[in-house]
Every structure is written in C-alpha cells, then in structure tokens.
Chains A and B, each alone.
Chain A
C-alpha cells in the first residue's frame, strides 16, 4: 500500500482510500468539506510523487502544473509527499467595499480585488479569514455588469464563519479568496429554451447571477425563478426581482414561503414542490437548483423523472458544513 508523508510523518493508506481519508483516519486535521471534488477546500500541494487525473480535475491549469490536487479525490497509486497549499499560489486578497443587511438574516457583501477575478455568474468562491476558517460562498454578481464580487451571507445559527463575517468583518478589511469554482452557470446557445430556477435561502445568490446572465445574453425563452424561504421577510431580493420581472416579459418570479400564512403576491408552500407541480413536464427545460443539499438532491431526481435531461440539470448544493 502507498504511504502519505505529511509534515515529516508517514501514514500508510488503506486499500482504495483517498489521501484525505488516510490523513483523517490518522487524526491529522486538514481542511475539507464536500468530499465530492467540488468545493476545493481540501486542496493540497504534492511535493513528491505522481498524481491521478481525477484528483486534478477542474483545477486551474496553473495549479495543475504546480501539482496541486484535491485530497478527497486522490486514491494514490504510489507514495506521495504532500503539504498544505502555499497561500500565495492559491489565494488572492480581496477588500470589503460594502456590507448591507438585506433581511433579518441575510447580508450582502461586496468585495474588490486588485487584479480582476475572471468568473461566470453562478460560480462560487472560498473565503479564508485570518483564523484560517474556509467557507464557500456563491457569487451573485455578473462579471460584465458589476464591478465588485457580490456574496450573500446568511447568519447560520451556530455558524462560526457567518457570524464572524457579519459581526467582525467590516468595510475596508481584507480577506483571502480562492476561486472561482463550480459549474452551475448559464451556457450560451439555444436562447429559446425554458429555464427553471429553484433556490432556497441564499441559494438565490447564484441564481440571481445566472438569471441576469441569461437576460444579458438575450435569453428569449421563459425563465421561472422560484425563491423559497420560511418567513416572508427572508425574501431578501423581493423588490429587485419584482422590478426585474416587470422589465422582462419572459421572467417569472415566484416568491414562496412556508410559514403557513397567506400573503399577497407571495406563494404559500415549498419552492420545489410548487415549481414541479406547476411544471410537470420538464422535457427540453434547463434546470438550476441551489440551496440546501436535501432539497437539491430530491429535486434533481424529480426534475429528471419529469423529463429534464441529466446534462440539463445544474446544481449547487451548499456543501460547506458550518461548525
């Protein structure tokens, strides 16, 4: 069995075990989150040894050539010597230029970097603060329209990073960012196809970017956006989206809350349930799902069974566990 050397000590791998599993099994604390190769939190630097192709899938070419890899995706065929990433290779510094409360629990953060970050609307960034806490946040901005990087942060009960961002991170301060990551984006072509977007909570953030990207690129087909929250007060972009829908005849904004009461211009019920009931045949639709992992998983299945092709379902589940 291959062995992993980390900080001068060597740890044997079990059969079919990933580098991340080997380190964790030996009680080594390294950052990680989704364990599915999407969040990039567990990225390590290979100092010696050969990497597998899956362990470098989706990394930027520069990081690949520097032998960075994802520990959760690497079942090493032979011995590896690994280290934590060098921050200067991976992270860039961003300055907070605006922090605005949008609802009782959601804040909008706008960040700027000295060097432009090239991204697609709908991708996400990893933020790392001085304490070394890393969390993923989706971009709500549109690179062609917005000068800053916009993130929506919900105060998660017991969530260390969200509390720190909301309470301690103030305008003018800097934070380290890595990215962009993720594939939940609007792709050009076939502007007439209908789009179904379902987001719960701050799952609205990437959809707000993707939606404006689609409109910006001249999407002509109907766009149905369902934003689901518990309390109506958490429909944190209600006015902007209502206004946007008035400007664009093909955009239909469905504000959904599940608090059990009835309110005007809002829908009672869960966003995904309402969306799938109202659109039972999703053949030829493109579907975007963002938010709580369980909602994304169940809705992906339902959307697929309702006729959407697997390749037409894009999803961004919140993978980062808040501690």
Chain B
C-alpha cells in the first residue's frame, strides 16, 4: 500500500508543482502582498516545504509552527479569503499537472486541515 506522497510521485512531483504553484501565488494581486519577495529563493523553498506537507510527504510541521509563522500575517489582515485563494492555486496546479481527482481531494484535505492554525483561530 503506497502512501499519498508516493502515489503523487514523491519529491519529483513536488519539484514539478512548486514553480507552477508559487508563480500563480505571486501573480495573484489579492494575496501576493503576504509573500515577501525580498528573498525569492528562500520563499520558494518555503513553498516547497508546504507542498511536501500537503502531498503527505515527510515534514516536521507542527500546528504551533504554522501558528507562529503566520501570526505576523494575520496581524496584517490575513483572512479566510486569502487562505482560500492559496488553496485554489494549489488545486489548479494539481489539475494542470493532471493529478487524478481522488488524489487532488486528498491533498486539499491536508491543506484544508491547516486552516485554523494558519489563521490563528
């Protein structure tokens, strides 16, 4: 029985998805103010960690990390609309890569499970 991460194609799939995903996020004027672009490479690496987690891959994220990392953004107005916009870009990235619908649904469930921590609720 292979894991979700393996079914998606492992790290290679993350690499394929991260450029498409981060490009969508940066091009979206409703959310890109939350993505500090002073160091794009570092930011890109963070998106890769996020995708690895959402793909069910090996990660060390805890709810507390998510809360702490996003607290300054929540203070700047990060809300559910922004969260949903990012989730939408994740979904369309996966669809663009022809990921089967049932696996997309699993990824979206994992991503959605972080919502309360991300929004510090």
Chain A interface residues toward B at CB < 8 A: 36, 297, 300-301, 304-305, 307, 309-310
Is B116 an interface residue, CB under 8 A from the partner?
A: no
Q: How far is the CB of B17 from chain A (nearest CB, A)?
A: 12
A304 touches B26 (CB 8 A): yes
Residues A310 and B44 in contact in the complex (CB < 8 Å), given A304-B23, A305-B27: yes
Q: A301-B37, A304-B26, A310-B44 are in contact. List 15 more A-B contacts (CB 8 A).
A: A36-B39, A297-B37, A297-B38, A297-B40, A300-B40, A301-B40, A304-B19, A304-B23, A304-B40, A305-B26, A307-B23, A309-B19, A310-B22, A310-B40, A310-B41
Bound-state Cα–Cα, A304 to B35, Å:
15
CB closest chain-B residue, reference A307: B23
- Note all chain A residues with C-beta closer than 8 A to B38: 297
Task: Provide the residues of chain A in CB contact with B27, threshold 8 Å.
Answer: 305
Q: List 24 A-B contacts (CB under 8 A).
A: A36-B39, A297-B37, A297-B38, A297-B40, A300-B40, A301-B26, A301-B37, A301-B40, A304-B19, A304-B22, A304-B23, A304-B26, A304-B40, A305-B23, A305-B26, A305-B27, A307-B23, A309-B19, A310-B18, A310-B19, A310-B22, A310-B40, A310-B41, A310-B44
Interface of B is mostly: helix
Q: In whole angstroms, what is the CA distance A307 to B23 when docked?
A: 8
C-alpha spacing A304/B39, complex, angstroms: 13
Residues of chain A contacted by B19 (CB below 8 angstroms): 304, 309-310
Among A301, A304, A305, the most chain B Cβ lie within 10 Å of the Cβ of A304
In the bound complex, CA of A297 to CA of B38 (Å): 8
Binary interface encoding of chain B residues 38-79 relative to chain A, with 1 for a CB under 8 A from any of its CBs, else 0: 111100100000000000000000000000000000000000
Chain A residues near B40: list those with CB within 8 A.
Answer: 297, 300-301, 304, 310
CA distance A301 to B41 in the complex (A): 10
Residues in chain B near residue A304, CB distance under 8 A: 19, 22-23, 26, 40
State how many angstroms separate the Cβ of A34 from the closest Cβ of chain B. 12
Q: Which residues of A contact B44 (CB under 8 A)?
A: 310
User: Nearest 6 CB-CB pairs, A to B?
Assistant: A310-B44, A309-B19, A305-B27, A300-B40, A310-B19, A305-B23
Taking the closest CB of chain A, its distance from the CB of B97, in whole angstroms, is 14
**In the bound complex, how far is the Cα of B27 from the Cα of A305, in angstroms?**
7
Complex: A300 Cα to B43 Cα, angstroms? 13
Within 8 A of A (CB), among B66-111: none
A36 to B42, CA, bound (A): 11
- Output the least CB separation between B11 and chain A (Å): 14
Chain A, Cβ-Cβ closest to B38: A297
In the assembled complex, the CB of B37 is this many whole angstroms from the nearest CB of chain A, namely 6
Give Cα distance in the complex from A143 to B67, angstroms.
50
Chain A residue at smallest Cβ distance from B37: A301
Give chain A residues whose Cβ lies under 8 Å from the Cβ of B26.
301, 304-305
